[in-house]
Amino acid sequence: MFELTGKVALVTGGSRGIGRAIAVALAKQGAYVAINYAGNEAAASEALAIVREGGGDGEIVRFDVASQTSFEEAIDDLVKRKGRLDVLVSNAGIAMDQLLLRIKPEELEKTFATNVGGALWGAKAAMRHMMRKRTGRIVFLSSVVAESGNPGQAVYSASKAALLGLTKTLAREYASRGVTVNAVAPGFIATDMTAGLPEDVKKKIVEQTPLARIGSPEEVAAAVVYLASDEAGYVTGQVLRVNGGMYV
């Protein structure tokens, strides 16, 4: 089940955290994985080494997902060399947490350019190739806060909620072309993004989570593997919540 042998996948922000776990999990199922990163080459190389240790293969590719031209060039180059792109996982994301009254225009712009622009430009560049093959899987990484809200995360939660609209619209636009588009919405997951939170905040989050613990990147990756698989062929426009019951 969930066999991906012979398929080519691109994971944005695959160098660290959830993206790395996704890259490793897709490769374990047999996919060739292009691991995108923004600047941390050491982390990206380490992710690729883990992929290879597990018997998989892939490459690292540096570009800023907010740049439409860079994204398009990277996908075109990958398809030219590997002949196809079956799976795009738009995972790269940033959070610039701030209370409403302190939010600056550049924080809104950068967060939306990365989180929403990165997903949209990636889907646009991938879709042309996927439509031609009449098959493809696109998965966006949203967040529990897109639906629950969270004080201090007005910009971030709005950007993650935007991905749900994008998921549903693209699912409708490209279903007839054989491409499915879904979102995974993680709860609180142990990564660099959440490592800096104060202990009392982490404790409060765990108390609000019915499964009473923080999630792992691998638990999110498993949901992405499912949505990327042939077995998920009748699933599109959906939000798969991996949040320990934090929002139901």
**Which among 116, 105, 112, 122 has a CA at the least distance from the CA of 11?**
122
The one-letter amino acid code at 55 reads G
Q: What is the per-residue DSSP string for 175-239?
A: GGGTEEEEEEEE-SB-SHHHHTS-HHHHHHHHHT-TT-S-B-HHHHHHHHHHHHSGGGTT--S-E
Candidates 10, 181, 189, 221: give the one binding ligand NAP (CB under 6 A): 189
Window contacting ligand NAP (CB under 6 A); options: 14-22, 98-106, 172-180, 202-210: 14-22
Candidates 10, 25, 26, 43: give the one binding ligand NAP (CB under 6 A): 43
Cite the active site residues. Answer: 156
Residue 9, both tokens: 């996948």
Candidates 3, 57, 192, 231: give the one binding ligand NAP (CB under 6 A): 192
Q: Would you say 91 or 182 has its CB closer to ligand NAP?
A: 91
Q: Would you say 178 or 185 has its CB closer to ligand NAP?
A: 185
Q: Rule CB under 6 A: is residue 111 a binding residue for ligand NAP?
A: no
Window contacting ligand NAP (CB under 6 A); options: 51-59, 188-196, 201-209, 226-234: 188-196
Window contacting ligand NAP (CB under 6 A); options: 1-9, 78-86, 181-189, 203-211: 181-189
Task: Report the C-alpha gap between 83 and 74 in whole angstroms.
Answer: 13
162 to 51, 121, 206: CA distances (angstroms): 31, 14, 26
CA dihedral sign of residues 235, 177, 169, 88: positive
Number of residues that bind ligand NAP (CB under 6 A): 30
| Binding-site string for ligand NAP from residue 19 to residue 38, where x marks contact by CB under 6 A and - marks none | x----------------xxx
Q: Rule CB under 6 A: is residue 188 a binding residue for ligand NAP?
A: yes
Q: Rule CB under 6 A: is residue 143 a binding residue for ligand NAP?
A: yes
Residue 217, both tokens: 């990147």
Q: Rule CB under 6 A: is residue 114 a binding residue for ligand NAP?
A: yes
Q: Would you give the DSSP letter of residue 98? A: B
Helix (H, G, I), strand (E, B) or coil at 129: helix
Q: Rule CB under 6 A: is residue 40 a binding residue for ligand NAP?
A: yes
Q: Rule CB under 6 A: is residue 39 a binding residue for ligand NAP?
A: yes
